[in-house]
Structure 1
């Protein structure tokens, strides 16, 4: 038997805890994190070039179309609305991405409007922004719209910087997070001005990313993409999962957290034509389907898409359009340098294949491996009437329109 010196023996003893830690880490990675890493970083994922798909696409670039994190299509009045901001603002002040540079805020966030059937001689579709009757600033992210009578009602997520409620003095958002609220506005049909109706503020609105309004125009579901507003370990949600769903009432302003289980950075939310809520989870690559009643929110289905996900929309046929992020590293690089980089993007479509809503088919609608035409996409909407896609991105200087070929 080989002789072991005392110094070598003691050195081995000192290394033992590190060896055990490495072993535990390897086991934990294999059991808990391997699938997450594979999904986020796309190990083995094949990203297709845009030439594989039957779409002709073009980009529309204008300052009013920068940083449009979310868009919504009014099928009846044929208008596309976007919640937009300057890219310098988005890359500095973005609480969902733990970016808390208050001084970077442009304070020019706005709702842009396009008349989708009237391109005009300049090809900008009558692009303009709505006037906003509101005393404060807006720092926009996700939103939803519901027709109530002869007006459109907007629910807008607003990430305001935090202030001391007693003194009004600014607080450090890196320590306390953003003062995030949901602002409700009305837009009368002949008007171009959003009139403020109400502010919904609640401790249950933790880190709102998007929302979806119920059919009654009163209740709405909010996705909280993190468990906390701020903190050193806040972004572990990317690896370990977390976040929550909150349900609010527009009339009373009351909100409560209704789901934490199976949340993995909840991102997009939409109310389907079947009356169910659909929620995309960015870091698990799944969509959860929920029904809400007086007894609470019940998850009725989980649909794996196996790719990181962003916002959702629903088209006139009831299909759910899903913005996919097939190359997460490229997305993060584009988010850091949005004027010079564009990430690969994709759109999936979720269709109900039976009347009971128990079976769904997932279809890849378009993908742009080389980032030739699509923006660094965070949302896509489909106009079933004209067979067009409208795509925008919270970290993109342009919007894209794709027309399906016959």
Structure 2
């Protein structure tokens, strides 16, 4: 009898321990993870069909427009540039997404160019790619462009495979991550060639996603979407936050971490026409606003959008244009099968309020949903969108899309 009672007590203790663990897990989920899961998986989120919005959209498909993770619009010279690669390459070698299949690299990454006001008889807008004198391979992700002197200067994130610095032998990126750098080029317009200027490499460039050049055309800010280059727990940042912002100088090549506070998979970044830096955080659905001053890199505002965010751009009027991911599971499915699936996409515009008319304590920014495509009818699996104020058009591209979309606003 004593043995039976002992077994029963032992079982009761195990049940009590299990119940306590479940209770603690439930409390922890409710306190720490509930909002994150709701944001990422879109519990209760209403995704609208594209017919709800006053845009006429069309797709442009061409091998040079595959896998365009980021695009940049030259408002003055009326050209659209894209950092593109084959989808086979993007779906195998994409360090930002912890995809480290080196053998999948196409080694044909390129900057594509469209003359946005000249569609031409084939409707491809004079599509071509820039040549480059770079001796190595480019594995492109985010980029930025700024005028320096009489030329356009390009800052390109390059996810090179890792090699042993002593022997030059390849290393396993699953263990050490990518050898990511920032490559700086000047555009020689007459020859349509990117001329290499400098490579910026630093331990502070950990897992770069995107880049924004400062007002002086020398400093630039990089978003590190992960805290580590590789490792089993690298992707915990999606649920628990993390990452950092790094500030570099093009002239000295020196880079330093600007901040890691409040980072939650920092993704897109742009310097606004107000001189402030805007950073989108994929895992929190928030845009943080930063000032680079003599006092350091200071967060001055937050803009909640409550949806996973990707790249952000700025239009000629200073509005921030945000690509969002309203259905994360659909996005991951499209990333795995980009030729046959298209994920739902959203684009928001963030406008700074006129402070003379803003109420006391009112948010400094107005957030407007510009377009949404619940069923993937016209928009790509969108990672970036730009707005051309002059013609009121949207240009949308995706790192996991075989096409680019152009939308014209109707009357």
TM-score, scaled relative to structure 1? 0.98
Q: 1:92, 1:155 → 2: CA distance? A: 24
**1:103 to 2:108 alignment:** no
Q: Distance in 1 between matches of 2:173 and 2:21?
A: 35
Q: 1:168-317, aligned counterparts within 5 Å?
A: 168-317=168-317
What is the Cα deviation at residue 15 of structure 1? 3.7
Look up the match of 1:336: 336
Shift of 1:355: 5.0
Deviations 1:318-350 (A, max 9, x none): 000000100011000000110110000010000
C-alpha contact 1:150 1:188 (8 A) present in aligned 2: no
Any unmatched runs of 5+ in structure 1?
Answer: none
Please say if 1:379 is aligned against 2:387: no
The number of equivalent residue pairs is 403
The unaligned stretches of length 5 or more in structure 2 are: none
- Other structure's SS at 2:307 match: coil
Tell me how far 1:14 sits from its aligned partner: 3.0
1:297 CA displacement: 0.4
Relative to structure 1, the CA distance from residue 164 to residue 37 in structure 2 (aligned partners, 3 Å threshold; closer, same or farther) is same
CA distance in 2, matches of 1:140, 1:17: 51
Report the secondary structure of 2:191's partner residue: coil
User: Could you report, residue by residue, the CA deviation over 1:12-40 in whole angstroms, capped at 9, with x for unpaired residues?
Assistant: 22344333222221111000000000000
More deviation in 354-363 or 166-175?
A: 354-363
CA–CA separation in structure 2 for the residues paired with 1:259 and 1:207: 14
| Residues 222-255 of structure 1, C-alpha deviations (whole Å, 9 max, x = no match) | 0000000001100000000000000000000000
Deviating above 4 A after TM superposition, structure 1's stretches of 4 or more consecutive aligned residues are 355-358
Residue 9 of structure 1 deviates from its aligned partner by 1.9
Tell me the C-alpha RMSD between the 2 structures.
Answer: 1.2
Query: Per the alignment, in what secondary structure is the counterpart of residue 190 of structure 1?
Result: helix
Distance in 2 between the 1:200 and 1:174 partners? 23
Partner of 2:127: 127
1:362 maps to: 367
Q: Is the 8 A contact 1:210 1:269 kept in 2?
A: yes
Q: Distance in 1 between matches of 2:201 and 2:242?
A: 22
Show the counterpart of 2:407: 402
Supply the distance in 2 between the matched residues of 1:182 and 1:73 (Cα, whole angstroms). Answer: 20
CA distance in 2, matches of 1:322, 1:288: 13
What is the CA-CA distance between 1:10 and the residue it aligns to? 1.4
* Distance in 2 (alpha carbons) for counterparts of 1:8 and 1:110: 69
- CA–CA distance in 2 between the matches of 1:349 and 1:150? 31
Q: Report deviation, 1:294.
A: 3.1
> Normalising by structure 2, what TM-score?
0.96
CA distance in 2, matches of 1:149, 1:378: 31
